[in-house]
Amino acid sequence: MPQGHVVCSGLVERIGEEMGRIIHKYDRDNEEKEIIIDEKIADHQEGLNLVADLLSHHEYGVITDVNEVKLVGHRIVHGGDRFHCVTRINKEVKEAIEELSNLAPLHNPANLTGIKTAEQVFPKATQVGVFDTAFHQSIPEVAFRYALPEKFYKENGIRLYGFHGTSHRYVSQKAAEFLGQDPKKTQLITLHLGNGASMTAIKNGRSIDTSLGMTTISGLVMGTRIGDIDPGVLIYMQEILGYNWKDVKRILNKESGLLGLSGDNDLRNISDRYLEGDERAILALSIYVYRIKKYIGAYIAAIGKVDAIVFTAGVGENSSLISELVCNNLEHLGISIDKEINNRRNGSERDLSDAKASIRTLVIPTNEELEIARQAFTLISEEK
């Protein structure tokens, strides 16, 4: 930083399983090289220690000593309504992240482990938190409040928070640049479509509504998560069908969505089956797309004049089938794409719109790592 040049990148996966894997890509003589190491990785502490070893490795490394790392940026899923921007991590911030774990029990504890481990592995570095919920703190009360008795909001913090904010922020800024407009005067609907998925209504560069709520279950149909549902169904499942709350939680998070509808949560496989005429795959994608269309209509109503809708993340960037199905029959809203351009997937920013469109349809690859690095670097630079 500040150039944003990637000198190395990587992934540690299958932590705690029988066999783990580390993928390490590094720059050498202006050429990207890659090594893959398969070995058992007991926990996150061990994983991050291995990362530090690779960073300073005599052959694969990009630094000579871990103390060269001055800044570590952490993606933290849930910041509640306490964190509105990038934040230097201290004792109080760590305590707040732990307190908020009841809102994100699968994510915040792991994020906190990452922070504590990074403090040990990179002892000279400043630790900075970038909260997934922060971008959505501009959502007005009329959109973030649920129609519950007030005490549940005032005393328990039950409200819409939203997620994927780092991605929505990044692609909204890149989309404004692509359109040649001031981000603060740009109106967008951003679609972060991956195994987890969300949509955000952005007015004058600020989030005004988003599909994920207090938790990561609501909104769109996702890989294994259900999305919007009548809450009475959950009462019925427990009172009449005899499921306990743990069963319901598991079903909603891990057995629903595309997996529940089609038997598979990999959209690539489902798309192949869709094109082959598989009935379950056709139904699953039809429900998936219909939900997205409903949110597009709702967000156009909320925003008013919309400049563009933006596809991003794994599915959004790579599936020409999904973008075609989503945009099909939306000409009356001003959304219309060129199918030939849509079928050219090359990993770059592009405009799918045809000549008739009054609302542009863009594909903007997300880069949450770069956005975290930018926010963290900017924070520390401004403090000097």
Q: Are 144 and 159 in contact (CB under 8 A)?
A: yes
Sheet with strand 126-131: strands edge to edge: 71-76, 126-131, 87-88
Buried b (16+ CB within 10 A) or exposed e, 246-284: eebeebbbeebbbbbbbebbebeebbebbeeebeebbeb
> Is residue 132 annotated as part of the catalytic site, yes or no?
yes
Signed CA dihedral, 329, 333, 358, 295: sign only: negative
Q: Which two tokens stand for residue 121?
A: 């592995």
Quick one: what percent of the chain has pLDDT higher than 90? 81
**Angle at the Cα of 366 (from 362 to 368), degrees rounded to 5?**
155
383 or 201, which is more confident? Answer: 201
Of the ranges 114-118, 143-147, 166-170, which one carries the lowest mean pLDDT score? 114-118
Q: Are 265 and 224 in contact (CB under 8 A)?
A: yes
Domains by residue range for the chain, with CATH: 1-68 (no CATH), 181-368 (3.30.420.40)
Return the pLDDT at 31.
86
Location of structure tokens 């994608």: 285
- 337, with CB counted inside 10 A (0-12, 13-18, 19+), is buried
Does pTM top 0.85 for this prediction? yes
Return the pLDDT at 338.
96
- 203 - beta bridge partners? 206
pLDDT tens, residue by residue, 329-367: 999 999 999 999 999 878 899 999 999 999 999 999 999
Catalytic residue among 65, 81, 132, 307: 132
pLDDT tens, residue by residue, 145-162: 999 999 999 999 999 999
Quickly state the pLDDT bin for 28 (edges 50, 70, 90): confident
Return the pLDDT at 384.
66
| Most confident stretch, 46-60, 192-206, 333-347 | 192-206
β-bridge pairing 197-203 and 206-210:
antiparallel
pLDDT tens, residue by residue, 1-25: 889 888 999 999 888 889 999 999 9
Quick one: what percent of the chain has pLDDT higher than 70? 100
Three-state SS string over 71-128 comes to EEEEEECCCCCCCCCCEECCHHHHHHHHHHHHCCCCCHHHHHHHHHHHHHHCCCCEEE
| Whole-angstrom distance, CA of residue 362 vs CA of residue 349 | 7
Q: Is the pLDDT of residue 373 over 70?
A: yes
Instruction: Give, to the nearest 10 degrees, the angle between helix 320-327 and helix 279-303.
Output: 60
Element (H, E) at 351: strand 350-351
Return the pLDDT at 274.
97
Average pLDDT over residues 228-246: 97
Q: Is the pLDDT of residue 107 over 90?
A: no
DSSP 124-175: TSEEEEEETTGGGGGS-HHHH--SS-HHHHHTT--S---S-HHHHHHHHHHH
